[in-house]
Each structure stands twice: as C-alpha cells, then as structure tokens.
Structure 1
Amino acid sequence: MTTTLSPVGGVAAAAAAPHRPLTRRDYQTLGLSALGGTLEFYDFVVYVFFANVLGALFFPADMPDWLRQLQTLGIFAAGYLARPLGGIVIAHFGDVLGRKRMFTLSIFLMAVPTLVIGLLPTYATIGIAAPLLLLAMRVLQGAAIGGEMPGAWVFVAEHVPQRHYGLAVGTLTAGITGGILLGSLIAVAINTHYSPGQIHDWAWRIPFVLGGVFGLVSVYLRRFLEETPIFREIAARKQAGRELPLKTILREHRAAVVLVALMTWVLSTAIVVVILFTPTYLQKVFHIPATLSLEANVAATLTLTIGCALVGWLSDRVGTKAMMLVGWGGLAVTSYVFYLGLPGTPASLVATYALVGFFVGSISLLPIVGVRAFPPEVRFSGLSFAYNMAYAVFGGLTPILISVWQKVDLMAPAHYVAAMGVLGFALGFWPLASRGWRPGRA
C-alpha cells in the first residue's frame, strides 16, 4: 500500500489536518511570516516613492527630464529583471534544503542593499559610479524578492489546514502588500515634515536606512519559525533533490507554469500601475500635489491590504472561481471609474482610488491558485519560476510601456489595467485555476 503526501500536514494527519482549527503555532507562523513580508516588500518598493528625487540626485543635472525619468524607471525595472535568477536559485535550495533556510536568507539579501542605498554618495560626488552602484543594489534587491514572495506563500500554505488555506494565504499577501502601505506612510511623513530642499539634500535617505534596519529585524524574527510539515515529510522520504526541480517543472507541469505566468501578468499590472506608478502619474499628468497624491495612495494601499485578506477568506467559502470573476471583473470596471474621473476633487480622488485599490486586493488569488498548482516536491521552484519569469517581463517593462503610451493617450493606465482585469476574469474559467486540495495532489 502506497502512502501519499498530504498538502496540509504529515501522512498520519492526512485525514484530520484539513479540518482542524488554526492553532497558536499557526497564528505565530502566519504573523511572523506576514510581518517579515511587510518589511521586506517595503524595502523593495520604497524606491518608487522617491523615484523623482533619486532621478535628480543620481543622474546629471543637465539631462532632459524625460530621459532622467526613463533611466530612473529603468533602474527600477532592473530589480524585476533580476527576480528570476534569484527566485530560481533560492527556490531550488528551498525544495532541496528546506523552506525555512531560504525564507530567512532572502530577507537578509534584501536588507543589506537597502541600507547601502541609503548611504550611497550621489552623482555630484562620485559621478557615473553613483547610478551604477544604485543599479547594482536594485539587482540584489530583485534577486532577494524573487525568492521571498513564492517562499512566503509556500511556507504558510504548507503550515495551515485546508479549510483556512485561502484565509491564510490571503492574510499573508495582505501582510506583504502592507509593505507598500508602510512605504506610502513613510513617504507621506517625509513629504509632510521636510521641505523639498531638505528631502533633496538628505531626508530621502531616511526611508532606505529604516528599511535596512527593518530587514535585519526580520532576519532575527524568522529564527522562531519552524520548517513546514510537508518538507519534513519529503526529506524523511528522501524525495527532495533527486532531480533538478526546474527540469521536472518544464517536463511535467507546463500548464501550471502558463496559468501562474498569466495570473502574474494581471497581478503585476495591478500593483505596478495602480499602486506604484499612479502617484507619480497624478503629479506629472494632472499636477496633483505630491502630498495629496501620496495620501490617496495610502487609502488605496490600505483597501488593497484589506481586499487581499477578504478575498482569501471568501475563496474558502464561495470558491476560487467565483472570486476570480468578481475580483478581476471589479478591477476592470473600477479602473475606468478612477482614471476617467481624474483629477476630480480631493475627496473623489481618495474615494475612487480606494475603490480600485480594494479590487487590486484580488491579487491574493494568484498564490491561492499558484501554490496548489504544483505538487509538494517541486512546489517552491514551480511557483517561483513561473511567477518571477512573468514578473520580470511584465512588471519590469510595464512602467516604461505606460510612460510611452500615455504620451499619445492619457488614459493608457486605465486601458491596460482594465484589459488585465478581463484576462483575470477569463482565467477564472480555467479548471486548473479553481481546483482544490486533494490528498497526495497539488
């Protein structure tokens, strides 16, 4: 008689685990993972909130503004382009040596470059070496985040019981997006308490130095996490590391790779365009004050965080397919409500930005679908490969695409986000997207 792996615990607990309640250990695991994800993702995205200042400081003063912005966004994109390599390497060892070790390593690799950015001399001091060093730090950050995101999703999903799977993964995703909220709040605080001159001279360094400290705190906190039950079982059965996981994925799980890649396209568009790109877009296109645009962004990021957890909770109750149809369909509609209403009044700006931000919370559907799309033995590598390869292409190139497109159509962000909402809606009809856990299966 052959014993199969349970996706929610050890073999002995296969029957009972799916229906057990969340324990104190589950809450501790989820809390520490979400907090670490918050701090690490803050480190990765805080760059975009100070992109205009960094562009002025790390490139020649006589460079045309459009070229400076393009090169600044290019360095931002470099972080995304580095994600696949970091994700593949970290995920490979996560499937071979254990989830916890790589989960901790990824955040250490994020903290150090963030701290260095906060201490870098500018172009006025060291010339061309300044943007090159900034680029190098973004590449290291990209490699780190490539392992962090899939690692966090797999780590938590393999710890919790089946009936709370969506809630746990959605809550973790909410914690990760909380890093964007933290970045928004700190950007608002910096712009509120310091003059533009002070920010230009030295205050821009504060969020990066804080990010480095946050990351090192997270490294310490993750010492208290335990390895997942599924990986312990795989290791005990000596099923880890028999073959390079990526070879297995490309040979046996191509459909899952395509599904996760397409969902990543939707996710990256929602995050990069609606949350990260739009504050600068509001300032440059509609001349909305930086403080107001950042305050509206805080509202959108807050509703995004709430939406992630709520979508996860509802997916446990009404099913993944239903939430894909409602969530992504809602994103397509509300993107036009928001962008067509610009600039509007301060109140309408905040309200409509918060509305579309809530539907961006549907991004938690990607890990809910993606983790269970691959079997345990190659789960980390499969999710990481598909997610990071797609994010490198779509996430990295999207800001540049939108910047060029909006020169001929100011509603380019609305059209692009709405199109991705339609794609997400259509993916809800893919059977692989809505299947649930089964003993011994992904």
Structure 2
Amino acid sequence: MHHDTQRRLNRQDYKTLTLAALGGALEFYDFIIFVFFAAVVGELFFPAEMPEWLRLVQTFGIFAAGYLARPLGGIVMAHFGDRVGRKKMFSLSILLMALPTLGMGLLPTYASIGIAAPLLLLLMRLLQGAAIGGEVPGAWVFVAEHVPRKRVGLACGTLTAGLTVGILLGSLVATVINTTLSAQSIADGGWRVPFLLGGIFGLIAMYLRRWLQETPVFVEMQARKALAEELPLKTVVKQYKKEVAVSMLLTWLLSAGVVVVILMTPTYLQKQFGIAPALTLQANSIATIMLIFGCLAAGLAADRFGASKTFIVGSLLLAGCSWLFYQTVAQHAEMLFACYALVGFSVGVVGAVPFVMVRAFPPAVRFSGISFSYNLSYAIFGGLTPIFVTLMMKLTPLAPAYYVLALSALGLALGIYLHRDLDGDRVAPHADSLADL
C-alpha cells in the first residue's frame, strides 16, 4: 500500500481505535468481574456442605478454565481472521463474550438446579475465555492495519490502555456494589448486576462495530490473492519460530506484570502489612489509572524511538519503581499512593508489546502468529504466575518484588535483542512484510 505512512490519524482512525478499545475494555471487564465476586459465586454455585478451601479451589479452577480456553478460541478465530477477514472475527469475539456474561448473570444457582449450576458456570467461563483469546490479538491486528505506519505504537498502546480501563471498570463496579448493597442483598441477586451490565454493554459494542471497515491490509491481500495457502498456523510454527518465541516472552511480561502489580498486590498489602482493604483498593485504582497513561506513553515511545529503546528504558524504570514500592510500603505506609502510582505507570511498558508482535509477522499469517503466541503464553504464564508468587511468599515476603525484577530483566534482555534483530523499522528476515503495513 503506497498511502502516506506519515499521515496523521483521521476521523475513521479515531472511530476504529475507540470502538476497538471499547470492546477490549468490555472484554476485560467481563473477564475480571468474576474475580471480584468469586466468593459469593462460590457459595451460590457449590453445595453448602463443601469445605471452604475446596469451594475456593473450585471457584478459582473455574476462573483458570477461562485462561485455558484462550488458546483454543484464539487460534480458531485467528485462523478465520487470516482467511475470511479481520472484521467478521472482530464482531464475533465480542458477541461470544457478551452472551456468556449475560448468561452468568441469569444462571440459576445450585439451590435451584443442583450440579447443573456449576457445570453451566464452567461452560460460560470457557466461552468467555475463548472469546477473549480471539478479541485481544484481533484488536491489535485490526487497529495496526488501519492506522498509518508511524502510528502503530500509539494505536497498540491505546488498545492495551483500553484493556486496563476494563480492569478499572470492574473494580469500580465491584466497589459500588459492595458499598451500596448489604452482603445479604448481594447474595440474593446483587451479584448478578455486574454480569448483566457487562453483557448488555457488550451487545451495544457489538452493534457499534458494524460501522468498522475491513482493514486496508486484508482487503489488499484479498485483491492480490496473497492469503495464506496452507493452514496459517502451520506456516507460523514452521517459519516463524523466533518471532513466536519473542512474542511469547513479551506476553509473559505483559500478563505477569499486570497480574502481580495490579491484581495480586492489593491482597498482598492487606495480608503482609495489614493495610486496610479500602486503602489498598484506592491505591490500586490510582495505580490502574497510571497504568493507562503508562501504556499510552510506551506506545508513543515505540513510534518515536523504536521498540528496542522503549523496552530497555521501560524495563529499567519498572525495576527501579517496583523495588522502591515493595521496599518502602513496609516502612512508610504514607508513601503507598505515590509509590503505587509510580509502579503502575512503569508497568505501562507492556503497552509496547503488541507493537513488536504486529511487526513480527507478515499480514497473511499475522493474526494466527500473534494469537498463537499470545494465547499460549497467556495460558501458561497468566495461569501460573499467581501460584508461583504465592509459593515464593513462603520463602520471602518480598516475593512479588523479586518476580517483577525478574520480569524487568526479561524486558531488558528483549529490548537489547530487538535492537540487534529488529533494528528500528526492519524485521530481519521479512523486510517485505512491513511494506504492507
């Protein structure tokens, strides 16, 4: 495509970005809201005579099932995204998310239908996981193929910030419900509200997505008959092993950074340092808002200075801020807000992750390449990180700090590697593939 790669973003670009980010936010909201209501859901969907620990294990097992369904859903949807078009899959993934979320809000409990209740809950969760597996890589490919080449970083950063908005939305809704309703009203049906809201918003977002256009890159591939000849996934595994490895490591940084700093830290602060839950949640909201700005900053930096410098500087910043945070909170609780805000912002380096992934694969297998790497890595590292950090806590109370330091080291190493390999604009073996962007 020889359109002006330097052009500024136009109205259609902003519309595309907004609708894509909105969908991403909703998907993450739907996925995360389950965590906030896990305890209530556990009591309502499992037999009363079950021991508490087993109930928690089962509830979190159902949460984890969502992670495991990701690769399957993501890879199937990406296959069709590379074959029949980005746009169709983009609408399908949001429908696949909205319906089970609505379903979860409407499910009869164990008291009414017995063992069918937890099984249906599990089914809804698997569908949600499959949907999110298609949505996130789909959204990254979609916006990156729409915007001018010099704006890919900003576009990907904006989307990643959108996912963060979803997490924030989830915690806000949970806070509102927990503060306005009594525990009894929540158990009586208040817990259904956030699921119903998510489902309804999802359907609205899907409706709005009708106004999106297929990406110019895909349209051009169709015109040139340049679509993948064999299974796109087969091509990816055969020809792009290095790209897959880099993408998987980057996804580890992305998923684990968010899981440890944003999702696990509030509970950690409460248990480890006895900080009041209300306080940790406020601090967590501030950190999440700062993460949104961090993602945007990383995306802009990737456009401006390239992925390599962004990851080198960003990872050093992450190491410094996280170490400072986990060290000082113990002694100086009054520094909690400021330090958590800093570390939240520094985790934003993950906003540059999709920038690298979109450029690593040529258009014909781009969706499949990103989806395969992202979802496989997310299922492994997203699922195992909480377990690993919790086990490390037995050895040292600073377990989260060491884990985030390890992630920073990984980010730094990838930044140095990308400097050698991606050398600014050119992806070594496939220089031609980026001409299409």
Give the TM-score normalised by the residue count of structure 2.
0.92
Q: Summarize the Cα distance change of 1:233–1:87 in structure 2 as closer, same or farther, 3 Å threshold.
A: same
Q: Summarize the Cα distance change of 1:338–1:131 in structure 2 as closer, same or farther, 3 Å threshold.
A: farther
Residue 436 (str. 1) matches residue 428 (str. 2): no
From 13, 21, 24, give the equivalent of 1:34: 21
Structure 1: runs of 5 or more not aligned: 1-9
State the shift of 1:352 in Å.
2.0
State the shift of 1:337 in Å.
2.4
Aligned to 1:276: 263
From 392, 396, 411, give the equivalent of 1:405: 392
Q: Summarize the Cα distance change of 1:287–1:70 in structure 2 as closer, same or farther, 3 Å threshold.
A: farther
Residue 300 (str. 1) matches residue 287 (str. 2): yes
Residue 386 (str. 1) matches residue 376 (str. 2): no
Q: Summarize the Cα distance change of 1:419–1:66 in structure 2 as closer, same or farther, 3 Å threshold.
A: farther
Q: Summarize the Cα distance change of 1:360–1:91 in structure 2 as closer, same or farther, 3 Å threshold.
A: same
Give the Cα–Cα distance (whole angstroms) in 2 for the partners of residues 101 and 332 of structure 1: 40
Give the Cα–Cα distance (whole angstroms) in 1 for the partners of residues 330 and 187 of structure 2: 27
Question: C-alpha offsets along residues 157-212 of structure 1, whole Å, 9 cap, x if unaligned?
Answer: 01111222211211121112211111121122122222333323322221111110
> Aligned partner of 1:440: which letter?
D
Q: Summarize the Cα distance change of 1:264–1:434 in structure 2 as closer, same or farther, 3 Å threshold.
A: farther
Structure 1 stretch displaced more, 81-90 or 166-175? 166-175
Question: How many residue pairs get matched?
Answer: 429
Question: C-alpha offsets along residues 304-323 of structure 1, whole Å, 9 cap, x if unaligned?
Answer: 11110111112222221111
What fraction of aligned residue pairs are identical, expressed as a percent? 59
Residue 363 (str. 1) matches residue 355 (str. 2): no
Give the Cα–Cα distance (whole angstroms) in 2 for the partners of residues 196 and 418 of structure 1: 39
Structure 1 stretch displaced more, 44-53 or 229-238? 44-53
State the shift of 1:433 in Å.
5.2
Give the Cα–Cα distance (whole angstroms) in 1 for the partners of residues 299 and 57 of structure 2: 36
Aligned to 2:184: 197
Q: Summarize the Cα distance change of 1:60–1:352 in structure 2 as closer, same or farther, 3 Å threshold.
A: farther
Residue 146 (str. 1) matches residue 138 (str. 2): no
From 143, 147, 158, give the equivalent of 1:171: 158
Residue 207 (str. 1) matches residue 194 (str. 2): yes
Give the Cα–Cα distance (whole angstroms) in 2 for the partners of residues 271 and 91 of structure 1: 24
Q: Summarize the Cα distance change of 1:60–1:295 in structure 2 as closer, same or farther, 3 Å threshold.
A: farther
Give the Cα–Cα distance (whole angstroms) in 1 for the partners of residues 115 and 404 of structure 2: 36
Q: Is the 8 A contact 1:39 1:215 kept in 2?
A: yes
> Aligned partner of 2:302: which letter?
S
From 5, 17, 32, give the equivalent of 2:4: 17
Q: Is the 8 A contact 1:166 1:312 kept in 2?
A: yes
Structure 1 stretch displaced more, 147-156 or 417-426? 417-426
> Aligned partner of 1:432: which letter?
D
From 109, 121, 125, give the equivalent of 2:96: 109
Q: Summarize the Cα distance change of 1:49–1:341 in structure 2 as closer, same or farther, 3 Å threshold.
A: farther
Q: Summarize the Cα distance change of 1:52–1:404 in structure 2 as closer, same or farther, 3 Å threshold.
A: farther
Alpha carbon RMSD of aligned pairs, Å?
2.0
> Aligned partner of 1:105: which letter?
L
Give the Cα–Cα distance (whole angstroms) in 2 for the partners of residues 199 and 404 of structure 1: 32
State the shift of 1:61 in Å.
4.2
Q: Summarize the Cα distance change of 1:408–1:170 in structure 2 as closer, same or farther, 3 Å threshold.
A: same
Q: Summarize the Cα distance change of 1:134–1:111 in structure 2 as closer, same or farther, 3 Å threshold.
A: same
Residue 245 (str. 1) matches residue 237 (str. 2): no
Give the Cα–Cα distance (whole angstroms) in 2 for the partners of residues 201 and 292 of structure 1: 27
> Aligned partner of 2:155: which letter?
A
Residue 218 (str. 1) matches residue 205 (str. 2): yes
Structure 2: runs of 5 or more not aligned: none
Aligned to 1:118: 105
From 144, 165, 185, give the equivalent of 1:157: 144
Question: C-alpha offsets along residues 197-243 of structure 1, whole Å, 9 cap, x if unaligned?
Answer: 33233222211111101110111011000000110010011122421
